[in-house]
Amino acid sequence: MKPIRKAVFPVAGLGTRLLPATKTMPKEMLTVVDRPLIQYAVDEAREAGIEQLIFVTGRGKSSLVDYFDMSFELEATMEKAGKSLDPLSASRADFGEIVSVRQQQPLGLGHAVWCARHIVGDEPFAILLPDDLMVGKPGALRQMVDAYARLGGNIVGAMEVPADRTSSYGIITPGARDGAVTEVTGLVEKPAPAEAPSNLAVVGRYILQPEVMAILSSKERGAGGEIQLTDAMAKLIGRQPFHALTAEAVRHDCGDRAGFVLANLAIALGRDDLRPVIEDYLATR
Ligand code: G1P
């Protein structure tokens, strides 16, 4: 079985749900406690053994690639002043670790993934949607890579959502369950609650076989008139093993105002240096 070495990060979105903050700043660069949102997804991918990170960017998103570059002036100045470079270490990529391609038009998540096809090539790969900040130990993708070693095929991250929220997610038709692993027998993008086959939703973590790229090449439109990754994945069911893993992790939807605030709170509360101050403040509310 080929290892998962590459991960695609679709980061071309306009972040309109977070305006005006995202007017001139990519949403993936907004701060969660003390680092940009994208750093969390990159850390999670590295922890899972990913060697090559493929950013699918768009116009106005170059600060994402700059962020992971070496900041020569900054480092030279800090070194001269005797300051530690430790705070910068996670934000530096190795030579060639990060590559970027452009999605020239916002045609949907499936299209964004397809834009990375030449770099992904003929091997299984991961996808991380940075908006979904997953807090877990080990991280959600590490848990999925471990499951992949046993199951092979395709694996999506999954989570139960309230029955009235199915129209915000890809929804799974569940087959046999074995602990945290559920066989996937169908997938539908953003169904109305009345049409939803379950309340088991896809979260923004995927391990997919390269055949999905050929399916995406047909550029078929789905929900919202967009080229949907969910529709392409649905076509793999029955041809290849397909499972969902409900990882032991908490998901925060950082594409949404409340989700973003909660992510900040959750991360801060998980840090020994910040927890006392936050708890004191909350106790006075
Ligand atoms: C995307 C996917 C959807 C998935 C969701 C997870 O939707 O299309 O299937 O459930 O991410 O966050 P989006 O949130 O981009 O509308």
> Is pLDDT at 95 greater than 90 in this prediction?
no
- Decide: 39 in ligand 1 pocket, CB within 6 A: no
Q: Could you tell me the pLDDT band of residue 253, with boundaries at 50, 70 and 90?
A: very high
The atom number, within ligand 1, closest to the CA of 168 reads 16
* CA–CA–CA angle 115, 119, 123 (5° rounding): 110
Task: Calculate how far, in angstroms, residue 285's C-alpha sits from the geometric centre of ligand 1.
Answer: 34
Does 170 sit in the ligand 1 pocket, CB within 6 Å?
A: yes
Q: Is 44 in the pocket of ligand 1 (CB under 6 A)?
A: no
Q: Is the CB of 189 under 6 A from ligand 1?
A: yes
pLDDT at 165: 97
Residue-wise pLDDT tens digits, 58-78: 998 999 999 999 999 999 999
Give me the mean pLDDT over the 247-261 stretch.
Answer: 95
Average pLDDT of span 220-224: 90
| pLDDT value at 94 more than 90 | no
Query: To test the ligand 1 pocket, which listed residue (56, 127, 129) has its Cβ within 8 A of the most ligand atoms?
Result: 129
Ligand 1 atom nearest residue 132's Cα: 12
Mean pLDDT of 114-142: 97
CA atoms of 142 and 7, how far apart (whole Å)? 12
Determine whether the shortest distance from the Cβ of 148 to ligand 1 is under 6 A. no
Q: Note the pLDDT of residue 45.
A: 97
Q: Distance, CA 129 to ligand 1 centroid (Å)?
A: 8
The CA-based diameter of the chain, rounded to the nearest angstrom, is: 64
Q: Which of 14, 114, 169 to mutate to test the pocket of ligand 1 (most atoms within 8 A of CB)?
A: 169
- Cβ proximity of 187 and 237 under 8 Å: yes
pTM: 0.96
Report helix, strand or coil for 142.
Answer: helix
How large is the average pLDDT for residues 199-222?
A: 96
CA of 256 to the centre of ligand 1 (A): 12
Which pLDDT does position 285 carry in this prediction?
87
Q: Which two tokens stand for residue 232?
A: 């392409």
Q: What is the pLDDT of residues 2-40, one digit of tens each?
A: 899 999 999 998 889 999 999 999 999 999 999 999 999
- What average pLDDT does this structure show over 32-61? 96
Q: What is the mean pLDDT of residues 226-232?
A: 96
pLDDT in tens, 145-192: 999 999 999 999 999 999 999 999 999 999 999 999 999 999 999 999
**Percentage of residues in the chain having pLDDT higher than 90:** 92
Instruction: Supply the DSSP string of 28-58, one letter for each residue.
Output: GGSEETTEEHHHHHHHHHHHTT--EEEEEE-
Between the CA of 230 and the centroid of ligand 1 the distance, in Å, is 9
Q: Say yes or no: CB of residue 204 within 6 Å of ligand 1.
A: yes
Burial class (CB in 10 A: 0-12, 13-18, 19+), 191: middle
CA dist., res. 107 & res. 169, Å (int): 17
- Structural domains of the chain sorted by starting position, each given as residue range(s) with its CATH number in brackets: 6-283 (3.90.550.10)
Ligand 1 closest atom vs CA 202: 10
Ligand 1 atom at minimal distance to the Cα of residue 170: 9
Write the Ramachandran bin of 234: left for phi over 0, alpha for psi from -120 to 50, otherwise beta. alpha
- Name the CA radius of gyration of the chain, rounded: 19
Cβ neighbors of 5 (< 8 A, separation 6 or more) are 49, 50, 51, 52, 123, 125
Which residue stretches of 23-169 are H helix?
A: 37-47, 62-67, 72-80, 109-114, 117-120, 140-151
| CA–centroid distance, residue 132 to ligand 1 (Å) | 9
How far apart are alpha carbons 37 and 88 in whole angstroms? 15
* CA–CA gap between residue 15 and residue 33 (Å, rounded): 19
Reply yes or no on whether the pLDDT at 272 is more than 90.
Answer: yes
DSSP H or E segment with residue 126:
strand 125-128
Which atom belonging to ligand 1 lies closest to the Cα atom of 230? 9
Q: Is the CB of 231 under 6 A from ligand 1?
A: no
Which atom of ligand 1 sits closest to the CA of residue 189? 9
CA-closest candidate to residue 64, choices 80, 41, 85: 41
Is the pLDDT assigned to residue 136 strictly greater than 90?
Answer: yes
Do 32 and 267 form a contact (C-beta atoms < 8 A)?
Answer: yes
